Amino acid sequence: MSTLDSFRVATRAWLEANCPASMRTPMPEDERVWGGRQPSFKNPESKIWFERMVSRGWTVPTWPTAWGGGGLTTDEAQILNDEMTRLNCRTPLFGFGISMLGPVLLKYGTEAQKAEHLPPIARGEIRWCQGYSEPNAGSDLANLQTKAENRGDHFLVNGQKIWTSYAHLADWIFCLVRTDSAKHRGISFLLFDMRTAGVKTRPIALISGASVFCETFFDNVRVPTRNLVGQLNNGWQIAKELLQHERGMISQIGRAIGGTVPPVEVVAKQYLGDATGKISDPVLRDAVARQVMNDRAFELTIRRAGQESAAGAADGGASSMFKYYGTEQNKKKFELILKCAGTQALGWTGPDFTPDELTLCRTWLRSKGNSIEGGTSEIQLNVIAKRVLGLPD
């Protein structure tokens, strides 16, 4: 038996022995484990599962063991992933520390920074948020104005961020700040504790109701100079890498959100199905067919891109295409659901609507943000035109 085969056998056995039963069921949104200084575990088994995975370093399987990771090779990590999928194991820990900051620190961080920040991320002790957008720096992110004055041993940070996800629940922030007037070459990447004096957050209510986004204000916040990641004024490079990564994540949002709402043809049948299950309105039936066919074509395209990438024929514009098409398709899906369900999909609260119907309405509204956050659809189309099609500026 090859080493990898042995690894697979051992991993499978460990997972089967250690993953609690309820951790093998689909995860409700509110059972996600985010860690942090005040961790919450709605389902007690999620704490057990989290702790066992932390003990293996498998919250971050490919990170070095020195930093709390599992030290796995890419192949081994793939096997772990396969086996977790096979058993329907839940992801034990979520957070921007794992998905965004960790990779940045591994690439750009000093040894001291790695030692200070990576293990707490791996162990879910510190929850991170991301300070990128500002009121006047949306699509034009590099226009950010939050200022960090270099005062020798510290930076003095003043300004405002917006769309800071979970800022009100986060312990630390990684943040793009302006350290020079040159638009792209004057941006730096700073880390600081959200408890630092001068940091304030204010949650943003979205049109869909409550939200995880905040406005975050910095008033003379003192950040130790050692919390600069990478070189001074070189933060834009880091930001670009993270943005591409984020795009990929958001193009999944539609699919994830879709997961909490039944497929469009199911909703259509529920409200418009005749005795045989056929959607009784032929015009809406055609629209539903178009929707599910494009969904299928899109899924196949994502799969194809995966194969191409595995074969080394990766396409630089793929993430923009997926971000664009996935989010637009998701918006169309909800508009179509609204047409099929009629007024029953338009309830805000109250007993005359089922919980599913109320979710439909909120999720429809939330879907409108998908084509804005993480780079608008317009920006994605610009990127495709330029990078993939080579059209001139």
List active site positions: 246
Q: How far is the CB of 144 from another protein (least distance, A)?
A: 12
Nearer to another protein, 92 or 258 (CB): 258
Please say whether the beta carbons of 158 and 219 come within 8 A: yes
Q: Site mask, its own copies, residues 212-251, x = CB under 8 A? A: ----------------------------------------
Please say whether the beta carbons of 302 and 254 come within 8 A: no
For residue 379, give Cα distances in angstroms to 205, 298, 301, 371, 374.
25, 20, 21, 10, 10
Contact region for its own copies (CB under 8 A) — 29-37, 187-195, 225-233, 280-288? 280-288
Could you say whether residue 286 binds its own copies (CB under 8 A)? yes
CA 384 from chain center: how many Å?
22
Of these, 282, 350, 355, 392, which contacts its own copies (CB under 8 A)? 282
First to last CA, the chain: 56
Please calculate the CA angle 257-131-388 and round it to the nearest 5 degrees: 65
Nearer to another protein, 83 or 373 (CB): 373
**CB neighbourhood size of 210 (10 A):** 10
Nearer to its own copies, 175 or 279 (CB): 279
Which residue from 85, 123, 82 is spatially nearest to 102, judged by alpha carbons? 123
Contact region for its own copies (CB under 8 A) — 12-20, 84-92, 278-286, 347-355? 278-286
Nearer to another protein, 52 or 285 (CB): 285
Which one of its own copies, another protein, none is in contact with 351 (Cβ closer than 5 to 8 A by kind)? another protein
Q: How far is the CB of 38 from another protein (least distance, A)?
A: 27
Q: Which of residues 142-161 bind its own copies (CB under 8 A)?
A: none
Q: How far is the CB of 203 from its own copies (least distance, A)?
A: 34
Token couple for 181: 């007037």
164 DSSP β-pair partners: 214
Of these, 283, 310, 311, 313, which contacts its own copies (CB under 8 A)? 283
Q: How far is the CB of 141 from its own copies (least distance, A)?
A: 22
Dihedral, CA of residue 101, residue 105, residue 107 and residue 109, to nearest 10: 150
Nearer to its own copies, 332 or 362 (CB): 332
Which residue from 383, 355, 364 is spatially nearest to 139, judged by alpha carbons? 383
Going by the DSSP 8-state scheme, the letter that residue 212 receives in this structure is S
Q: Which of residues 26-65 bind its own copies (CB under 8 A)?
A: none
SS3 293: helix
The residues of the shown chain that bind its own copies, judged by CB under 8 A, are: 282-283, 286
